[in-house]
A and B are shown apart, each in its own frame.
Chain A
Amino acid sequence: MDATPSSPGRAVSAPALVAWLLVLAGLVALPRFLDSPYALHMMVLLFLSIIMGEAWNVLGGYTGQYSVGHAAYFGAGAYTTMMLMQFKQVPPWYGVFAGIAVALLLALVIGSITFRLRGPYFVLASIAMAEILRLIVLNWKDATNGAEGILATEVPPLKVGSYLVTDFSTKVPFYYGGLALAVAVILVNWAVQGSKLGYYFQAIREDQDAAHSLGIHLSLYKNVALAISAVFTAWAGAYYAVYVGFIDPAAALGIDVSVQIVLICIIGGIGTILGPMVGSLVLVPLSEALRSNLIAEGLFRIGLVSESSPTGQFLRENLAHAHALIYGVLVVVVILFMPDGVLGFVRHALARRRAA
């Protein structure tokens, strides 16, 4: 089996299109039937993860540039929007576009420096750029509050003219905002995949030198891929910041953010539209189940571990902090046993079964 993800182009079969539309219709209708804030919260986290994963996929998946510094764009979107909102009373609806503009500018600077490098050097440079940004935000206390971070005391409502669109006081506007963004970035991936631009990206991924000798302008197309990627990553950052209402340099610009973005794609499958969605469907419920101690409670419930035993106590106290550990284990397992991600693994398994 070939290790590189195949790109089926833009063709969508009629049954697939119907299935997609049904899923979308279901998601649009969902908040009418599901008003539990916790369920909505989970969905918001899921959308957020899909947006970040699909955004990274344009650069990492199609173009093959493994940026481990995407926290820079996430943080740029989050910080610009929050600073404008908290210090200048600019509603996030407008602030987010300033955040995207800052991220684009940043992408231009970072891209022009890092895209001259290849392989591990590119990865290292991308990390260093995000770290530089984190250190600037951490130390520029007058503008950013430094390590204390920024707490949103009040989110200004969204108005168009005098018409109140939403006041952000419930989770529902965040649900639809996230859904819309996720659909948008998925459509962008789809458009890229079957376009000339996308073929240039994939040519660069497969063999930079060959692509260059065919007249593909390497730095131009890498920068275009990064720009698309940065726009949605910044958008996700702004969305996250306003939703949670608090950011600090570690949460918005730390290397964990960058690694998590890459993980979404690695675990699902790189260079495919479904990959980041599958990755999000694996990672988000898992890390939430750990964080909220659902797994420990579950083990007690089914009687596998006694609640009062030392093991039970240990699990109750510590499993909530274990989600990063599970991420690590997942990455190791996926790289060793499913190098094409969960999606590739399932596809191969299905193909084997059909052949047998």
Chain B
Amino acid sequence: MTVFLQSLISGVLVGGVYALIGIGLTIIFGVMRVINFAHGDLLMVGMYLTFFAFTLLGIDPFLSVLLVMPAMFLLGAVLQRVFINRVLDALPQNQILLTIGLGLVMSNTAMLLFTSDYKILTTSYSSGAFQLLGLSISKPLGISFAITAALTAALYWFLIRTDTGQAIRATAQDREAAQLMGVNVRRMSVIATGLGAALAGTAGALISPTYYIYPQVGGAFTLKAFVIVVLGGMGSVIGATLGGIVIGATESLAAVYISSGLKELVVYVLFLLVLLFKPAGLLGKSRM
């Protein structure tokens, strides 16, 4: 029972970060109907930013979120303005291929700049743990979950309470109607991609103390982000939150009860089952 609870808890904690990755992807998809295949590579860029902030400037990885978020927002906004904006009316497959191309450029630029060596970010608390009701919780995972929860709450507040947030939601619901109501749809697209990139980069910063950092790390996360988003229903922020936690917990339990090598396999099989039997996702047709 302890093993079960222990792995469930660490799964849920990782799931919080997954949720952040998924929310970023789902916002981009919601506003522009473009699937961002470079999402994991944005996360990778966030990891490297965090790594160099730590090794060169001595900034704690969790503190570096303050730096990574605006930097990645900017990167996302530029990507939207320069590239994605031009394919908004193109065939979906061309949009997919464009973002695959952008991802290739990012990961291979990282490889040229930083080589393909694995980098590890070790902090003083990397192997530390909190004790809670007889269960031990890894410190990096616990802190990152707390930050994730705070960020997610702030994001909900932003989307629901602020004018910009409402405009984003309106654009996601119906692009044309929003435009007729005076929403600057182009600006919302830039903000959405910026926000998506910022969330992916932040997730990268938060997991950098617990994962290897290397140029190709994004691929696995791109696919994971889709699984999360599809699980929750494309375009749904609440769905992505839930999907992230479900995937985190599933992975963690599969690693303990099946085999750590097969935990991703379990996730993909789950993904296919959802696609086949509940293609609208666990939360049905809800939108953000």
Give A residues with C-beta under 8 Å from B.
3, 66, 68, 113, 116-117, 119-121, 123-125, 127-129, 131-132, 135-136, 138-139, 255, 259, 262, 266, 318, 321-322, 324-325, 327-332, 335-336, 339
Contact = CB atoms under 8 A, between A and B. Distances in A.
Nearest to B271: A128
Contacts of B90: 335, 339
B104 interface: yes
B279 interface: yes
Considering the complex of A and B, which 9 residue pairs feature the smallest CB-CB distances, nearest first? A328-B104, A331-B101, A325-B108, A328-B105, A332-B101, A66-B93, A335-B98, A139-B261, A135-B265
B264 A135 contact: yes
A127 B264 CA distance: 13
B268 A328 contact: no
Contacts, number: 109
B93 A132 contact: no
B97 A262 contact: yes
Interface string B98-115: 101111111111011000
B97 A335 contact: yes
Nearest to B226: A124
Do most interface residues of chain A lie in helix, strand or loop, or is the interface mixed?
A: helix
Interface of B: 35, 83, 86-87, 90-94, 96-98, 100-109, 111-112, 116, 219, 223, 226-227, 230, 259, 261-262, 264-265, 268-269, 271-272, 275-276, 279
Contact of B112 (A66, A127, A325, A327): A325
16 contacts: A120-B92, A120-B96, A124-B223, A124-B275, A132-B265, A135-B261, A135-B265, A259-B100, A266-B97, A321-B116, A330-B101, A332-B102, A335-B90, A335-B101, A336-B87, A336-B98
A87 B272 CA distance: 33
B96 A121 contact: no
A266 B268 CA distance: 27
A331 B100 contact: yes
A321 B261 contact: no
A131 B264 contact: yes
Contacts of B227: 128
Given A66-B93, A339-B90, A113 B272 contact: yes
Among B101, B261, B272, which residue has the most Cβ atoms of chain A within 10 A? B101
Given A66-B96, A135-B261, A325-B105, 11 more contacts: A125-B275, A127-B223, A325-B108, A325-B109, A328-B104, A328-B108, A331-B97, A331-B98, A331-B104, A332-B102, A335-B97
